[in-house]
Amino acid sequence: MFDEHEQSRIRTIGISSNNETFSINNNNSETFSSIKNLIDNFVTSKKAIIDNICLINPVTRQAWELLNSDLQITIPEIVLGKGTFGVVQQGKLVKNSSDVAVKKANRGEMTEILLGEILEEARIMRHVEHVNIIKIYGVVIETLPIMIVIELIDGCSLSKLLINKEIPVGHRLSMVSGIMYGLWYVHDKKYIHRDVAARNVLVSKDFTQIKLIDFGLSRRGPIYSIQSTQKVPTKWLSPEALIRGIFSCKSDVWAFGITIWEIYNDGVEPYESKTKSEVRTFLSDRHLFAENQLNLQNTKSEEKPPPGLHKLLKNIFRFNEDIRPTMAKIVSSFETEIIPHLTGADLENCKLQQNRGGHSKSPITTGPVTISSRSSRSGRRSIPKKTKDSRSNRSREKERKPKTKTKSVSVSRKKDSARRKAKSRSKK
């Protein structure tokens, strides 16, 4: 709605219905047989719909704003998962008959706060489109309960695979790399996930698709502070998140480290022998933490982590978040210190995760090569560093040449002037 006197103001105008006719509230003089006819009349006539407000341009429905008619819930119902938020069921998009997963909130618990959280989750998911992140197709808000429509992965959670010991040899490290690239992208888009864990990773049956899910706690910005951490499982929280309620990309990095530990310990809960209060106690003290720090020295899984991962995890579990590495630094270390020493299935599966997302400048080869830490997310071929430097050197030379030439001309002119003055003095 546009108000010619108050251009920045938004107004909500009610439409009344009476005996199958429609009219604007407080404007009962005109009635219409449908809402469409009512709108069309005010648009074409240019008459004020109320006060000084005229209808000018419509706000069209976005592609992600789905109607109930755009979606079919599979019958009989196929439940893919349940949680405190509600249920995830299988459905189908009508326009292309593609199978999807439908996240439905509990109807009875639909408060204004929960509604805002669901819409915020959908908004964030629309801005983080990546091969290692679950894709959103849209949101149905026409009627309650609100539904988020996301891609359907034929598989299950990483946590379930770990607990059931169903991950083949040569795939654990690729799980680490898939999560790593997805989280790196989330941080690059200036978002904090806040709930990184094996339970929030989906893996396809062929183990090639590894996707971060559940952005219900995610927030945009460098730091997010809260008063209570009840919603987030204590044992995945970094010291600053647990004690001070401060979340950032660095707290995500810590949770990523916990997830690495889960992967090589068959999905066992971290600090399994300790209570939540005990975990809070030693995470609040640097020295106690050093005595209880998680590591990969004695892992429970039959498949052992590569040596480089031990060092990486030690850096991730820095008590001080200021010296904890960023995801960009972790990717760099992974590609330069771990991948070059891999062979066999580990190398092939990590290569698949890196190349399918277009993360590196060039595909990983099967030999022990060093991978550049600077990556191209677009998948386009980047200019080699040498060529780029030579180009920049040539441009700098071109910039210097005119200045040098101008200076020499100026100097020569000054010399000529000095000579002429000397000659005139000698004649006198």
Question: Does 114 reside within a domain?
Answer: yes
Residue 163: how many CB atoms within 10 A of its CB?
14
Residue labelled with tokens 């449908």: 34
The answer on 194 and 105 residing in a single domain is no
CATH of the domain at 337: 1.10.510.10
Give the closest residue to 182 by CA, choosing from 226, 139, 145, 132. Answer: 132
pLDDT band at 336 (very low <50, low <70, confident <90, very high): very high
Which one of 10-24, 111-125, 258-272, 402-416 scores highest in mean pLDDT?
A: 258-272
Indicate if the pLDDT at residue 355 is higher than 90: no
Question: Does 102 reside within a domain?
Answer: yes
Q: Are strands 136-140 and 65-66 parallel, antiparallel or unpaired?
A: parallel
Indicate if the pLDDT at residue 170 is higher than 90: yes
Per the structure, the count of domains in the chain is 3
The neighbouring-strand residues paired with 54 are 2
pLDDT score, position 151: 95
Helix H or strand E encompassing 161: helix 158-163
Q: Give the residue numbers spanning the domain of 290.
A: 155-356
Cα 239 to Cα 422: distance, rounded to the nearest angstrom: 81
Higher pLDDT among residues 288 and 316, named by residue = 316
Q: Is 234 helix (H, G, I), strand (E, B) or coil?
A: helix
Determine whether 195 is an active site residue: yes
Question: Does 411 reside within a domain?
Answer: no
**Lowest pLDDT segment from 62-66, 90-94, 211-215, 401-405:** 401-405
pLDDT per residue over 99-136, tens digit each? 999 998 876 667 778 888 888 999 999 999 999 999 99
The answer on 289 and 201 residing in a single domain is yes
Question: Does 412 reside within a domain?
Answer: no
The answer on 116 and 18 residing in a single domain is no
Per residue in 63-87, is it b (16+ CB within 10 Å) or e — as a string? eeebeeeebeeeeeeeeeeeeebbb
Q: What is the mean pLDDT of residues 192-210?
A: 96
329 annotated to bind ligand: no
The answer on 147 and 173 residing in a single domain is no
Predicted model pTM:
0.74
Q: What is the mean pLDDT of residues 208-222?
A: 94
pLDDT per residue over 388-427, tens digit each? 444 444 444 444 444 444 444 444 555 566 666 665 555 5
Average pLDDT of the chain is: 82
Total residue length of the chain = 428
pLDDT score, position 318: 95
Task: Out of 51, 154, 195, 285, pick the active-site residue.
Answer: 195
pLDDT score, position 225: 93
**Two structure tokens written together for 270:** 């971290």
